[in-house]
Structure 1
Amino acid sequence: MADEGLRPIIVKRIKKSGGGHHGGAWKIAYADFVTAMMAFFLLMWLLGSTTKGNLQGIADYFSTPLKVAMAGGSGSGDATSVIKGGGKDMTRIDGQQKKGENLTPTKSLNLKDAEAELERQEMNRLKSLKERIEEAIDSIPSLRQYKNQLLLDITSEGLRIQIVDEKNRPMFALSKADLQPYTKLILHEIAKTLNDIPNRISLSGHTDATPYSSGEKSYSNWELSSDRANASRRELIAGGMEEAKMLRVVGLSSAVLFDQKDPLNPINRRISIIVMNKKTEDSITKANRTLDVVSEATAKQTVENGVNPSVAAQPAPLAATPAGAQK
């Protein structure tokens, strides 16, 4: 019995191997495969959602990353680039900017506001010209006595300067286009001021409603008003006005009376000089342009824009021999 108490106790440990010949290594390989697939699909998504320009920028960045980052260009620093960094702004707040690039924000111009500003500046020029002519009339003694015959005002066409007849002081010889000496003096003084602004000139002649004895068949108020307007044009040029500034010379007979209540009033006999604004000048220079209307929509647009392709400036008729009426 004593020997049995001294017998050694043997503990057997059984080592179990449930993984077979490869153990758990397949789990690591599978995790690496899933990670690679996720990276591949992420890359495909990026390539599919990126524009052609950005793709080129990405390619440039990976081919020469230091050059793109230091020198700028269409690449990684662009604010639209998928990849952050590069350029001068690493946070993509401003995006990549080339050296010497103008950082001043571009102003957007409103066409209507610009046109209104141009009209305002033009109106100021015409008002300034009106004031200079009025000062010249007051300061030159030879003109001051004809102040009542010089009428200046601003109209929708521009600055209008009218030289009108008085009962005992006509501008022209009776029934002729021969200017009186004081009329030449007035036109010479006006001519000196017209070159100060770029606006072009329209000149029209007017008569009263007194008819010629021969009526409208031969030499009439139409021919007389045209001849007087052309004589005034020649005198303005002789006084120093540039010939190219004259755009229109017309004779209107008694069609546009100054005194509507009294067609025979001497004040209806006048010369009207208009320093035209841009709008009036364009309406004259564009009058002879043709427009081919090819559809109803085009015709509607033409009417809305106020273009009349049939309008053409017709010169007033000129004739040779005056009759004996008093004008």
Structure 2
Amino acid sequence: MKKGSHTTIIKRGGKKAHHGVHTGAWKVAFADFTLAMMALFMVLWIVGAVSKEERQEIVANLNGTSIFDGTVFSPISDPAAIAGPAPIMTSLPVQAAEANESAEQEASQPESLENVLSRSDRELNELGEAIARITAELNAQGNLSLEKVPQGLRILLQDDDDRVMFERGSAQMTPFFTRLLSELAPVFNRIDNKVIINGHTDAANYRDNAGYNNWNLSGDRALAARTVLAKGGLEAKRVLQVNAMADRMLLDPKNPLSARNRRIEIMVLTQSASDTLYQFYGRNGVKVVKPIAERLQ
């Protein structure tokens, strides 16, 4: 070998197995699958969003038939249809849109006082019927009574000869009345009316030097009723007031110790009664509520 010359070395390696060529076909298949799923969800959404009549109209348009007379129509099959203006047909979706627009216009206009009072009275009647059904199911007719008054619906829960709502001098509600109030609680959420809960006692007095009296007892019982209603599902915003009445408003004044005087009263107020109460105290501390007659004009 001459000095300064270079030697070329060739290294032969073993042949390696070749894997299949990745052409990306799986991406196309996945895209087709995704598109098909999206189309399926769109179809399901459209089926759920439109009414039965609207679906029939859509199918009729796709098949080239009319749901009104069962005849076949095609807007371009008749040359005369091209020459002249096409007849105007009001479809069901258009009718629905016009009805929605009319409803929105009516909603934007102030509701009359007569309509408000009529609607409120109807809702209170429906509420009374629902409460009466629950009372009958629990056989509590002797413990619950309903009365329509100008301010709304008055619900009285009280003792009878067989059941007591609270033990004497206690604010712990008994199991039967706890169940009764729990069953009634969701019913009050069906309407927007506010609720006042009043606690009443009989005229039995504590000792003069007692630190606890009928004011405390009636207030604690009213709060206990509110707690049971809240646990049963009554929305917190429904309750406007919780009052302690002590023995100031006896149902049976000739028998001041009668069980009829020991009661919880739930007042479901009309809208006008709620507005009047807000006028006394103001909404959030500010007297901003106008009388309902002025507000609706």
TM class by shorter-chain length? 0.5 to 0.7
CA change 1:197–1:291 in 2 (3 A) is closer
1:205 and 2:199 are equivalent in the alignment: yes
1:153 and 2:151 are equivalent in the alignment: no
1:244 and 2:242 are equivalent in the alignment: no
1:191 alignment partner AA: A
Distance 1:239 1:149 in 2: 19
Describe the superposition over 1:236-262 as per-residue Cα deviations: whole angstroms up to 9, x where unpaired. Answer: 000011111111000100111111222
Describe the superposition over 1:106-140 as per-residue Cα deviations: whole angstroms up to 9, x where unpaired. Answer: x9xxx9x92122111101100111011112222x2
1:221 and 2:219 are equivalent in the alignment: no
Distance 2:286 2:130 in 1: 42
- Residue 54 of structure 1 corresponds to which residue in structure 2? none
Distance 2:241 2:267 in 1: 10
In the TM superposition, 1:12-91 aligns within 5 A as none
In the TM superposition, 1:1-327 aligns within 5 A as 114-138=112-136, 140=137, 143-144=138-139, 146-214=140-208, 218-289=211-282
Which structure has the bigger radius of gyration? 1
The count of residues paired between Structure 1 and Structure 2 equals: 181
For normalisation by structure 2, the TM-score amounts to: 0.56
Q: How far did 1:285 drift?
A: 2.0
Distance 1:260 1:157 in 2: 23
Q: Secondary structure at the match of 1:162?
A: strand
Greater percentage in helix: 2
Q: How far did 1:283 drift?
A: 2.0
Describe the superposition over 1:146-185 as per-residue Cα deviations: whole angstroms up to 9, x where unpaired. Answer: 2111011111221111101124421012201000000100
For normalisation by structure 1, the TM-score amounts to: 0.51
CA change 1:213–1:136 in 2 (3 A) is same
- Residue 319 of structure 1 corresponds to which residue in structure 2? none
Describe the superposition over 1:5-41 as per-residue Cα deviations: whole angstroms up to 9, x where unpaired. Answer: xxxxxxxxxxxxxxxxxxxxxxxxxxxxxxxxxxxxx
2:123 alignment partner AA: R
1:247 alignment partner AA: L
Q: How far did 1:291 drift?
A: 9.4
Q: Secondary structure at the match of 1:183?
A: helix
Q: How far did 1:208 drift?
A: 0.5
CA change 1:114–1:208 in 2 (3 A) is same
Distance 1:134 1:168 in 2: 20
C-alpha RMSD over aligned residues: 2.6
Unaligned runs of 5+ in 2: 1-105, 288-292
1:120 alignment partner AA: S
